[in-house]
Amino acid sequence: MYPRPGAGHVPVLRLGDILLVTLQGDLYDSTAQQLQQDLSETIVSAGVTGVVIDISGVEIVDSFLGRVLAEIAAQASLLAARTVVAGMRPAVAITLVELGLTLPGLRTALDTQAAMALLEQPVVLSHAGGTRRERA
Amino acid sequence: MSTASEIEACLPIRSDMDLVWVRQHVRQAAALLGFGLVDQTKLVTAASELARNTLVHGGGGQMDVAPVTAGFGRGLRLTFSDSGPGIADLDRALSDGYTSGDGLGMGLGGARRLVHEFEVESTEGAGTTVRVTSWVNRPPRVREEG
Ligand SMILES: Nc1ncnc2c1ncn2[C@@H]1O[C@H](COP(=O)(O)OP(=O)(O)O)[C@@H](O)[C@H]1O
Ligand SMILES: [Mg+2]
């Protein structure tokens, strides 16, 4: 969607009511910011109810990209769409904790399939059976 | 054995494109020196935070990269320098959540947690230099902060 030589890009795919956003490679700050702006418009114009952001191809998440992800989720939520970040690499998760970014409010799943499954569940939160408990 | 010439570098930090080069160079240098994947990721993340500070708060500058050796092995030293406004209150700048701009305020303190050695030299009105070093296969340093 935003190709520029030498750096990452961000294909966005619509699957029914869900937008699948794939972050690939090393993104320019401006690319991440542009994505954040464009996604809000896409959520409204496409009428989607869920956004899955696949970061399995992302080698590092610093506080800038972390904030962009959190803000995308917050904006989507105001537009009645839920966001799940999928596929964070273990090394990235370990580093984020040490960096001090816990990103509360960001739902995560191990891969895009699990993220899709999460979004297909009813919005009402339940502590029963297979549903994951929300952290405070 | 890696050659120092592939690791040593001086990279400009003038745009968000330069941040990408900084991350890619640090990743390659750390891999050449034998850092494991998690340690590479920590170092690249720290470099990304510090380089963005050089760009955003320092008005641009550079990163110098050098391999280092000591009795206990090999390491990588990264020096970020700018001639921007400097940091008036370093303790405040290092505290989690403090930002003078619109960031998250986690970069400087977070970068310090991600490396073994961390030094800041800053003069108000004259600029800031942040020097960090991490060592291959060395456990994280003992935390002196709370
Ligand atoms: N190179 C620099 N030059 C001037 N001020 C800096 C520099 N690096 C950091 N600072 C100051 O320290 C604060 C905290 O930095 P950081 O933790 O990275 O948070 P953020 O970048 O999100 O504001 C910055 O808001 C800025 O005031
Ligand atoms: Mg910063």
Task: For residue range A36-80, list pLDDT tens digits in order.
Answer: 999 999 999 999 999 999 999 999 999 999 999 999 999 999 999
The one-letter amino acid code at B30 reads A
Predicted ipTM beyond 0.90: yes
Give the domain range for residue A78: 12-120
Atom 18 in ligand 1: which residue has the minimum CA distance? B107
Question: Quick check: B25 contacting A, CB < 8 Å?
Answer: no
Enumerate domains of chain B plus CATH numbers: 7-135 (3.30.565.10)
Size of interface A-B (CB pairs under 8 A): 75
Query: Tokens 């970069």 — which residue?
Result: B107
Quote the pTM value.
Answer: 0.91
Q: Which residues contact B102 (CB under 8 A, 6 or more apart)?
A: none
* Mutation for A interface: B13, B18, B20, most A CBs within 10 A: B20
Q: What is the CATH number of the domain that holds A81?
A: 3.30.750.24
Q: Which atom of ligand 1 is nearest to the CA of A63?
A: 22
Domain membership flag for residue A125: no
Chain B, residues 90-109, CB within 8 A of chain A, namely 96, 103-104, 106-107, 109
Number of structural domains found in chain A: 1
Q: What is the CA radius of gyration of chain A?
A: 14
Region of A87 on the Ramachandran plot (φ > 0 left; ψ -120 to 50 alpha; else beta)? left
Q: Which residues contact B95 (CB under 8 A, 6 or more apart)?
A: B105, B109
The per-residue DSSP string of A97-114 comes to HHHT---TT-EEESSHHH
The string of pLDDT tens digits covering residues A69-114 is: 999 999 999 999 999 999 999 999 999 999 999 888 899 999 999 9
